[in-house]
Amino acid sequence: MSHTGLHLLRPVEAAREAAADRLSSRPCLLLVDDEDAIRESLREALEEDGFQILMAANGREALDRLRSSPRPSAILLDLMMPVMDGWEFRREQLNDPSLRDIPVLVISASGSSPQTLRSQLGDVELISKPLSYGGLLQALGRACGLAASAA
């Protein structure tokens, strides 16, 4: 069946195209945490909620990822990690003009106040461990500029 000037996609092609459109419109996050279980569980949950996830096990890996992958909408950053901790990562990020304006959400059990962390790390949002997933989604919505219902 031909329609003048219209290209009809087969169902499989249409499904692939729709999936590609969804992927390209999903916010991308860089998740930086040295604990495999935390990275994997957050990745699964956040992907189900419509985010693309890049992962790194420490600050050095995160910087490499930032410089070689698509730019994320936000960074979820643990502070206590081997190789390069969150503080050192954040200093490096702030010193790089191409990376400094990516929003950072610090995930920490340090007990530091948001004000203390901001004085040391700049304009970051604190997500305390154990984290509330609903609170995390709200913070990501603010960081990524999403409407509350979209996050």
User: pLDDT exceeding 70 applies to what percent of the chain?
Assistant: 78
Torsion angle defined by CA atoms of residues 120, 124, 125 and 128, in that order, rounded to the nearest 10 degrees: -40
Q: Within a domain: residue 14?
A: no
Can you tell me the distance from the alpha carbon of 55 to that of 33, in angstroms, rounded to the nearest whole number? 8
Least confident span in 90-94, 109-113, 127-131, 135-139: 109-113
pLDDT in tens, 18-77: 444 444 468 999 999 999 998 999 999 999 999 999 999 999 999 999 999 889 999 999
Count up the domains in the chain and report the number: 1
**What residues are paired with 125 via a beta bridge?**
105
Can you tell me the distance from the alpha carbon of 139 to that of 47, in angstroms, rounded to the nearest whole number? 16
Q: Within a domain: residue 87?
A: yes
Helical (H) or strand (E) element with 53: strand 52-56
Q: Within a domain: residue 21?
A: no
CATH of the domain at 114: 3.40.50.2300
| The pLDDT value given to residue 117 | 79
Residue-range definition of the domain harbouring residue 140: 27-144
